[in-house]
């Protein structure tokens, strides 16, 4: 059964993984980090990624169109992908049964990272982190 650290270690096994973190997007706190971070600063990265995640989670424009009353426990957004010239960022929201605002943040090298694979695996990890 994975905890935060096991989940992060697993994320780092993905091809091209440079760093990963579990972040609370309300406070911007990194609850756990592994590997490298842009600029070598996990805390700043967490705070900035949290800001992006918060905007995506709070704005109605990004919520699903159908079948969402936008008020249940369902997350309005599953994940966020940001790409730049040399890296990808994948932010995966974690659905918990208690009130929380947590996401997984994976930083991938573009040269040998596989975005589609990373996105699927990250989704599975987010599920296993909280559910059995």
Partner 1 sequence: MSVITTSAPPLPVRGEHTRHAVSPMLHRLAAERATGVLLRESGSLYLSDGEVVHAESPRSPGLDVLLSAGGVLDTDGWREAVDTAGAGLRVGRFLVDSGRVTKGALELCHAGAMFDAAYFVLGPSSAPARFRYGAAHWLGPIRPVPVATITREALRRRDLLHRIWPDAAADDAPLMRAVGLSSPPVPIRQGAVLDQINGFRTAADISLTLGRPTFHTLVAVRRLAAAGLISPAPPHPPRTPPAPDTTPGRTAPAPDTPQGPSAPTRATVPYATPYAAPHPGSYGAPDGPAGGSPAGTATAPGTLPPEPADVPGSTPPHPVPVPAPPWPLVTADPDIALLQRLRDALEAL
From 13-21, 23-31, 83-91, 115-123, span contacting partner 1 (CB under 8 A): 23-31
Residue count at the site for partner 1 (CB under 8 A)? 34
Site for partner 1 in 105-124 (CB under 8 A): none
Sheet strands (E) in 25-86: 29-35, 79-83
Burial of 107-117, coded b for 16+ CB within 10 Å and e otherwise, reads: bbeeeebeeee
Task: Note whether 97 binds partner 1 by CB under 8 A.
Answer: yes
Task: Note whether 82 binds partner 1 by CB under 8 A.
Answer: no
Q: Give the position of tokens 């040269």.
A: 111
130 by Cβ neighbours in 10 Å (0-12 / 13-18 / 19+) ranks as middle
* Binds partner 1 (CB under 8 A): choice among 13, 65, 66, 99: 99
Interface positions with partner 1 (CB under 8 A): 1-4, 7, 22, 24, 26-29, 31, 43, 47, 57-60, 70-71, 76, 94, 96-102, 128-132
């Amino acid at each position: 059964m994975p905890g935060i650290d096991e989940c992060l270690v697993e994320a780092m096994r993905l091809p091209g993984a440079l760093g990963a973190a579990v972040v609370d997007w309300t406070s911007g706190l990194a609850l756990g980090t592994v590997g490298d971070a842009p600029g070598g600063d996990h805390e700043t990265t967490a705070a900035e990624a949290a800001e992006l995640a918060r905007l995506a989670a709070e704005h109605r424009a990004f919520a699903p169109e159908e079948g969402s009353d936008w008020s249940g426990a369902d997350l309005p957004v599953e994940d966020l992908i940001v790409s730049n010239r040399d890296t990808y960022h994948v932010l995966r929201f974690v659905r918990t049964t208690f009130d929380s605002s947590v996401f997984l943040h994976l930083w991938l090298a573009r040269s040998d990272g596989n975005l589609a694979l990373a996105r699927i695996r990250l989704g599975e990890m987010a599920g296993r982190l909280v559910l059995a």
